[in-house]
């Protein structure tokens, strides 16, 4: 039976290792991942019996709201207790083997050996093949609006163990704790638990199968779905029919304000966009560049009270992670622009640290700027940003000096990843 497979020692050990590796905040009971093993040693026989007999009841999830990318509104996360995360992870490892082989080739999100980069590369292939219009579907509050009955009906098609079905439904219906009060949940599968991504794929697999049945070219990553067509008329027709299908079959609503029939180079997909060339080239969507600039604002503020080396140490992992996500880009001008912007920002931090004209004159002279030029630069009334881009600061703090301090370059990191792939 499936529940016995979930509770198999090797599966539970692997689940525990994954939960500990992922870390994360405690749930509503305050237990940390470090406390999970001692707790299980004492209580696991009882918990195992409850799971085997279908009497285990998950704890409420802790409500956490985080800002959405771009700063428009918030996204609700539901943080399960670490014990429930362990059980969800064990369920996930077994259910993935049941469901993943049946998923569509156009589905890339939350699947082993599939990634954002595979989805973006597939999208570019479709555009290069002549599908130069897209239907960009945005599902309104998808994770908050999943209908439990519709989802469980799809799970039950392949899972026959009633204990597993009951446990999944209880995880879906676990209340939400906010400010010490628990509210019941009748729909949705809040992000935050290991099982939610798989459940979203199980539900949206029906959309994938419908698109395959119709012969459409499409790419889906979680609830972000693009369908590629050859004309606007075809796109409008597909949009209308899919909106009806999602409403009637899956009880999901398309957000028409965020969805569109448009050219691929007018939209973004997973942070990327493309050029309008006959052979499209990938580039970073402007919104993604702006989001990075906003993310780095606190780094510049903290830099005023510490050494430039410390700021660079904090910057480097952010730059590496960002370039790793965008390593498929073909248009390098944006990366060069970001390098220049970071260099100027660091010079701006230094200029603020120097504070007084006297200190600025001394530091410019020490860094090799001739006396007349250093005096003119130190005494000018302009602000830090202007001075950070002026010739006296470029001479005093050249790009090579920043590299010698360990600063990672967007362009060099992209080149390094391109060579290693």
pLDDT digits (tens, 9 = 90+) for 117-130: 999 999 999 999 99
What φ, ψ does residue 177 adopt, rounded to 5°? -95, 125
Average pLDDT over residues 230-252: 96
Give the dihedral sign, CA 137/141/147/151: positive
Mean pLDDT of the chain, nearest integer: 93
pLDDT of 72 strictly over 70: no
Helices 148-156 and 162-173: angle between axes, nearest 10 degrees: 160
Evaluate if residue 66 carries a pLDDT over 80.
no
pLDDT tier for residue 71 given thresholds of 50, 70 and 90: low
Query: Residue 25: is its pLDDT beyond 90?
Result: no
Q: Residue 246: what pLDDT?
A: 96
pLDDT tens-digit readout, 337-388: 999 999 999 999 999 999 999 999 999 999 999 999 999 999 999 999 999 9
Question: Under a CB-based contact definition with an 8 Å cutoff, are residues 340 and 293 in contact?
Answer: no
**290-310 pLDDT tens trace:** 999 999 999 999 988 899 999
Cβ count within 10 A of residue 117: 17
Whether 70 shows a pLDDT value over 70: the answer reads no
Element (H or E) spanning 96, and its range?
helix 82-99
Strands 61-67 and 176-178: parallel
pTM (global) more than 0.85: yes
Q: Phi, psi at residue 216, to the nearest 5°?
A: -85, 150
> 68 vs 378, which has greater pLDDT?
378
Is the predicted pLDDT of residue 248 greater than 80, yes or no?
A: yes
DSSP 407: P
pLDDT at 75: 74
Query: What pLDDT shows up at residue 179?
Result: 72
A 10 A CB-CB count for 371 gives 10
């Amino acid at each position: 039976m499936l529940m016995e497979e979930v509770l198999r020692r090797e599966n539970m050990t692997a689940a525990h290792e994954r939960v500990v590796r992922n870390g994360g905040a405690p749930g509503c009971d305050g237990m940390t991942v470090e406390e999970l093993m001692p707790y299980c040693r004492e209580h696991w026989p009882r918990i195992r019996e409850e799971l085997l007999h279908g009497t285990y009841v998950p704890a409420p999830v802790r409500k956490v709201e985080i800002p959405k990318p771009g700063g428009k509104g918030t996204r609700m996360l539901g943080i399960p207790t670490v014990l429930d995360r362990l059980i969800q992870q064990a369920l996930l490892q077994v259910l993935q083997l049941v469901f993943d082989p049946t998923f569509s080739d156009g589905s890339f999100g939350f699947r082993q050996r599939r990634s954002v980069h595979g989805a973006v590369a597939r999208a570019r292939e479709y555009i290069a093949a002549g599908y130069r219009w897209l239907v960009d579907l945005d599902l309104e509050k998808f994770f908050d609006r999943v209908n439990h009955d519709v989802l469980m009906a799809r799970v039950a098609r392949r899972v026959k163990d009633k204990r597993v079905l009951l446990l999944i439904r209880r995880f879906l219906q676990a209340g939400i704790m906010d400010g010490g009060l628990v509210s019941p949940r009748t729909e949705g599968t809040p992000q935050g638990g290991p099982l939610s991504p798989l459940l979203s794929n199980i539900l949206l697999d029906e959309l994938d199968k419908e698109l395959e049945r119709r012969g459409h070219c499409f790419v889906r990553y979680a609830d972000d779905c693009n369908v590629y067509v050859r004309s606007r008329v075809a796109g409008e027709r597909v949009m209308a029919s899919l909106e009806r299908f999602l409403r009637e079959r899956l009880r999901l609503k398309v957000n028409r304000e965020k969805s569109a029939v448009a050219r691929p180079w007018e939209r973004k997909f997973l942070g990327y966009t493309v050029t309008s060339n006959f052979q499209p080239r990938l580039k970073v969507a402007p919104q993604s560049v702006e989001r990075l600039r906003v993310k780095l604002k606190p780094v510049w503020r903290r830099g005023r009270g510490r050494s430039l080396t410390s700021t660079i140490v904090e910057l480097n992992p952010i730059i590496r992670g960002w370039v790793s996500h965008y390593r498929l880009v073909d248009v390098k001008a944006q990366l060069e622009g970001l390098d220049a912007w970071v260099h100027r920002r660091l010079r701006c931090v230094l200029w603020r640290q120097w504070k007084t004209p006297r200190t600025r004159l001394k530091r410019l002279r020490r860094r090799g700027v001739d006396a007349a030029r250093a005096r003119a630069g130190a005494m000018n009334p302009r602000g830090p940003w202007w001075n950070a881009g002026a010739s006296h600061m470029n001479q005093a703090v050249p790009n090579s000096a920043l590299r010698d301090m360990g600063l990672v370059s967007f362009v060099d990191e992209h080149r390094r990843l391109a060579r290693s792939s």
